[in-house]
Amino acid sequence: MRDKQRARVYRWGWETKRILAEKKCLPQMSATDIDIFVRRISKDYNITPPKIRLTKRKGAASGGEGNIILPLSWACQKHTIIHEMCHCILFRNKEDGEGHGSRFVRLNIEMLINYTELTSSELLRLARIHRLDIAHINECPQRVKV
Ligand SMILES: [Zn+2]
């Protein structure tokens, strides 16, 4: 799979996560909190909620078509869950061929604006610094209007 901006997306992610932590807006979530949060996002984007697996294993979190794996030691917070939900939504929309491509970045930015205390200007400023390709919103899955 071509995924040429993955390293840059990760660096951008660490910085945006650090900002949330500094704002004290990155609490550890319980299994119930995570379930509620994942269901809310799934409903907003009209996908079947993925199965969530919390693991004691160290290492990376992952998100794919039908499930998300979150290491208990570090990944049970909004920022990482949003990243993995982003993969799920793109998979469900058959748009994940590019990994952390321009659509991933746009969707991730939109979700961080909608579900966290990060602002659009903070997110876009850092995305420019990390030279991320960002798709137009119309190229991305959208939230279902209520
Ligand atoms: Zn990823």
Cα of 126 from ligand 1 centre, angstroms: 18
Cα of 45 from ligand 1 centre, angstroms: 18
């876009």: which residue's tokens? 124
Cα of 74 from ligand 1 centre, angstroms: 15
Query: Which pLDDT belongs to residue 95?
Result: 66
Q: Mean pLDDT per 10-residue run, the chain (146 residues)?
A: 89 97 96 98 96 94 90 97 95 77 96 98 97 95 86
Asked whether 97 and 49 are in contact (CB, 8 A), the reply is no
Query: Which pLDDT belongs to residue 98?
Result: 67
DSSP state of 50: P
Asked whether 65 and 87 are in contact (CB, 8 A), the reply is no
DSSP 62-99: EE-SSEEEEETTT--SHHHHHHHHHHHHHHHTT--TTS
Query: Which pLDDT belongs to residue 93?
Result: 82
- Domain ranges across the chain: 6-139
Query: Which pLDDT belongs to residue 96?
Result: 57
Cα of 83 from ligand 1 centre, angstroms: 6
Cα of 23 from ligand 1 centre, angstroms: 23
Query: Which pLDDT belongs to residue 15?
Result: 97
Residue 46's contacts (CB-CB under 8 Å, 6 or more residues apart) are 144
Cα of 130 from ligand 1 centre, angstroms: 16
Cα of 103 from ligand 1 centre, angstroms: 12
Cα of 79 from ligand 1 centre, angstroms: 12
Cα of 10 from ligand 1 centre, angstroms: 8
